[in-house]
Structure 1
Amino acid sequence: MAAVLTTLTPNSGPATTFSTVVITGSGFADVGPLTVRFGATATTFTIDSDTQITAISPTGTGTVDVTVTVELNGTSNALPFTYV
């Protein structure tokens, strides 16, 4: 089963510097390799628990979809992140 995203905190951040974003949902732990993407850009992250990931938002513009891909289970639903 693919990971499920419920919230991004915060759901917006600076366009030109990195910021920390907490992703909450389910299906993050003990499922094999994960990739967190802001739009098409993969980013650095830490799996805090099965329900929380702390990610670093890359630089960007506009509004992008944040997704979590589990190698064997597919890609989560998308949540919007807006660069300001």
Structure 2
Amino acid sequence: MTLTGTGLGPTTRVLFGTTPATFTVVSDTHVVAEAPPGAVGPVDVTVVTPGGTSAPAGYTRVGPPAV
């Protein structure tokens, strides 16, 4: 998932709900996070920096395709 905004350079955590995600800070305006496994459905994503926690952004997990 690509997250954009301002002041993202000092990101310390990216959370999908309460679950921490693996992430890479690309720049002060760009973070890439890998969605951790979880239940199908909506989850709030937040970015944590020393300055505080972002407002939640919506993300929806989908199930595997039917074959």
* TM-score interval, normalised by the smaller of the two chains: 0.7 to 0.9
Q: Distance in 2 between matches of 1:41 and 1:25?
A: 21
User: 4+ runs of 1 displaced by more than 3 Å?
Assistant: none
Q: Deviations over 1:40-81 (max 9, x none)?
A: 1001100001110011000112211000011x3110011000
Of 64, 67, 81, the residue aligned with 2:43 is 64
Q: Distance in 2 between matches of 1:74 and 1:52?
A: 17
Does 1 or 2 have the higher relative contact order (CA < 8 Å, sep 6+)?
1
Q: Distance in 1 between matches of 2:18 and 2:25?
A: 20
Q: Distance in 1 between matches of 2:32 and 2:43?
A: 17
Give the structure with the higher percent strand: 1
TM-score (norm 2): 0.83
SS in 2 for 1:55: strand
Of 4, 12, 27, the residue aligned with 2:7 is 27
| Runs of at least 5 residues in structure 1 that lack an aligned partner in the other structure | 1-20
Residue 14 of structure 2 is aligned to residue 40 of structure 1: no
The aligned length equals 61
Q: Distance in 1 between matches of 2:18 and 2:51?
A: 19
| Runs of at least 5 residues in structure 2 that lack an aligned partner in the other structure | 63-67
- RMSD, aligned CA: 1.1
Alignment-mate amino acid for residue 25 of structure 1: G
Q: Distance in 1 between matches of 2:55 and 2:6?
A: 11
